[in-house]
Amino acid sequence: MRDITRLVRRFVGILLLSTVLLIALNIAIIVIVSAHQTANGRPWTMAKETAAALQKTETGYLLPNEISDELIQENAWAIYIDNETMAVKWHTENLPDTIPSSYTISDISSLTRGYIDGYPTYTGEAKDGLVVVGYPKDRFWKHMSPSWDYYFIKNAPSIVLIVIAVNVFLIFLIYMIANSKLLKSVRPITNGIQALPSGEPVSVKEQGILSELAKKINRTSGILQEQKRDLQKKETARANWISGVSHDIRTPLSMVMGYAGQIEENEALPEADRKKARIIRQQSIKMKNLINDLNLASKLEYNMQPINPVPVNLVAVARQSVVDFMNLDMEEKYPIEWKTAEDLTACVIQGDKELLRRAIGNLITNAQVHNPDGCEISVCVVKEDAEYKIIVEDNGVGITDEKLEKLRNTPHYMMSDSGTDEPRHGLGLLIVGQIVHAHNGTVSFDHGANGGFAVTVTFPWNI
């Protein structure tokens, strides 16, 4: 519903903004056009200037060339009416033939407010008479009875604002009525799109303006549901296959390990045969661990492995894992250095102690597996800001940039398909990632400071 509200708000905002911009544009156009028009007072000013400049001489009346030129430029004519005789005593040469040569008081009143024979006229007071300036019929329009109510003028700003508000409201009302059907169609479409990521079936009524879009949403939902069912079948089949193979292989593998152990301990056999039996037993143990890892990975992926959250001290768990591996390293090919600060004694989170030990153990094992000639391993627990970090690093053969990129971005634990002889960071790191993610943490991979491989596991404090 928030999206619908946001959409309506957007439509209304665009409408109001468009209305305001349109009104502002119209006002600007009126101002620009008005600025290029002759001011309303210019004809009256011209009449007054003509009356003031008109001079009486012995031979008649004389108008200076400057004023005469202005009248010619305006295509205007002028007459002088004597006060006593009410007759025209002087006029310009371009006086139209239809202009009367004598006037009454009524005529003077009419031409002052309006026209003479359709020519807009303007008056100016001269000595002993009246000067009338006439303009072409299509030059000016005169309002014959200019009378405005004072109350109206006083309240004009408020009236204008009210008119604008009413117009905006009417535009908005018309807009909402015209788009009501569209808004009704948008709401189920939006709800359907929001429901798609949930994985639940979506059914939108295929009607209205957006019926085609509704059909596509329904079709998409159907495809997603079909894919979900197929994926569930595949995942169930894979889980069942892993569980079945693991179960079926345990008994013969135990027998192989048992017989291999007996042959290895039989001192009556040649040393070469006992060595082969030792290799068989060791490889069988690896197979057993691999099967256990495969089962654990499958359970974690499908949330079948129960997590028993209790307060766990990461420092103690990491230190115990280091001690366990140091005790197992009889050949001392993999010396482990504990680099945690001495004053850091507790980093407590809510988690499963055994799974966390398994994750740290897998990181140490990973360093050993990928460095068969030996390497130095360091384990460090760090407390930073709102996070706890466990860093396991080695100085072994390291990892190429290409493989590191694949390890970071490939969802599957297998790094490549180039052959079985190439070292892989496989199920061990997959299980580490699953355990850490189950504890709301993150895992990052990088080159080690000494050229090897480094893994950083991060947990937030507030777990």
Domain 310-460: assigned CATH number = 3.30.565.10
Alpha-carbon Rg for the chain, nearest whole angstrom, is 50
Indicate the helix (H) or strand (E) that contains 279: helix 271-301
Q: What are phi and psi of 174, to 5 degrees?
A: -60, -40
| Res. 9: pLDDT tops 80 | no
Closest CA to 294 of 250, 336, 234, 327: 250
Q: 115 and 121 in contact (C-beta within 8 Å)? A: yes
Pick the CATH number of 211-301 from 1.20.120, 1.10.287, 1.20.1630, 1.10.3430: 1.10.287
Confidence band, pLDDT 50/70/90 cuts, at residue 423: very low
Q: Taking residues 342-359, what's their average pLDDT?
A: 88
Q: 325 and 379 in contact (C-beta within 8 Å)? A: no
Where does residue 378 rank: exposed (0-12), middle (13-18), buried (19+ CB within 10 A)? buried
Confidence band, pLDDT 50/70/90 cuts, at residue 90: very high
> How much of the chain, in percent, has pLDDT values that exceed 70?
82
Q: What is the identity of the amino acid at 319?
A: R
The lowest-confidence range among 149-158, 217-226, 414-423 is 414-423
What pLDDT does 416 receive?
A: 42
Q: What are phi and psi of 396, to 5 degrees?
A: -85, -145
- For 455, the token pair is 């893994």
Confidence band, pLDDT 50/70/90 cuts, at residue 425: very low
What pLDDT does 8 receive?
A: 63
HEC-encoded secondary structure of 96-157: CCCCCCECCHHHHHHHHHCEECCEEEEEEEECCEEEEEECCCCCCCCCCCCCCCHHHHHCHH
The lowest-confidence range among 77-86, 184-193, 454-463 is 184-193
70 vs 407 pLDDT, higher one = 70
d(CA 196, CA 225): 10
Confidence band, pLDDT 50/70/90 cuts, at residue 91: very high
Confidence band, pLDDT 50/70/90 cuts, at residue 92: very high
| Res. 324: pLDDT tops 50 | yes
| Res. 463: pLDDT tops 70 | no
Q: Taking residues 426-441, what's their average pLDDT?
A: 81
269-285: per-residue pLDDT in tens? 888 888 888 888 878 87
Within 8 A by CB and 6+ apart from 213, the residues are 189
Find the helix packing angle between 2-35 and 156-195, rounded to 10°: 150
Where does residue 387 rank: exposed (0-12), middle (13-18), buried (19+ CB within 10 A)? middle
d(CA 52, CA 162): 46
What pLDDT does 96 receive?
A: 94
d(CA 463, CA 441): 9
Looking at every residue in the chain, the average pLDDT score rounds to 82
What pLDDT does 421 receive?
A: 44
- Measured from the Cβ of residue 167, the count of other Cβ atoms closer than 10 Å reads 12
- For 19, the token pair is 């209305």
Contacts 24+ apart (CB under 8 A), 190-198: 190/3, 190/4, 190/7, 192/217, 192/218, 192/221, 193/217, 194/3, 196/220, 196/221, 196/224
Q: Taking residues 321-349, what's their average pLDDT?
A: 86
d(CA 43, CA 122): 6
d(CA 252, CA 245): 12
Q: 396 and 372 in contact (C-beta within 8 Å)? A: no
E strand segments, 310-452: 310-313, 336-338, 348-351, 377-384, 387-394, 442-447
Q: Taking residues 223-235, what's their average pLDDT?
A: 81
Closest CA to 89 of 113, 112, 60, 114: 60
Confidence band, pLDDT 50/70/90 cuts, at residue 97: very high
Residue whose pair of structure tokens reads 């000067």 in the numeric block? 131
d(CA 78, CA 57): 18
| Res. 1: pLDDT tops 70 | no
| Res. 234: pLDDT tops 80 | no
What pLDDT does 370 receive?
A: 87
Indicate the helix (H) or strand (E) that contains 362: helix 353-369
Confidence band, pLDDT 50/70/90 cuts, at residue 122: very high
Q: 430 and 415 in contact (C-beta within 8 Å)? A: no
d(CA 359, CA 435): 7
- Measured from the Cβ of residue 182, the count of other Cβ atoms closer than 10 Å reads 13
What pLDDT does 245 receive?
A: 67
Q: 133 and 76 in contact (C-beta within 8 Å)? A: yes
| Res. 213: pLDDT tops 70 | yes
Q: What are phi and psi of 60, to 5 degrees?
A: 145, -145
d(CA 150, CA 141): 24
72-83: per-residue pLDDT in tens? 999 999 999 999
Contacts 24+ apart (CB under 8 A), 199-207: 199/224, 199/228, 201/225
- For 294, the token pair is 């495969």
- For 321, the token pair is 């894992």
d(CA 63, CA 55): 6
Q: Taking residues 158-174, what's their average pLDDT?
A: 83
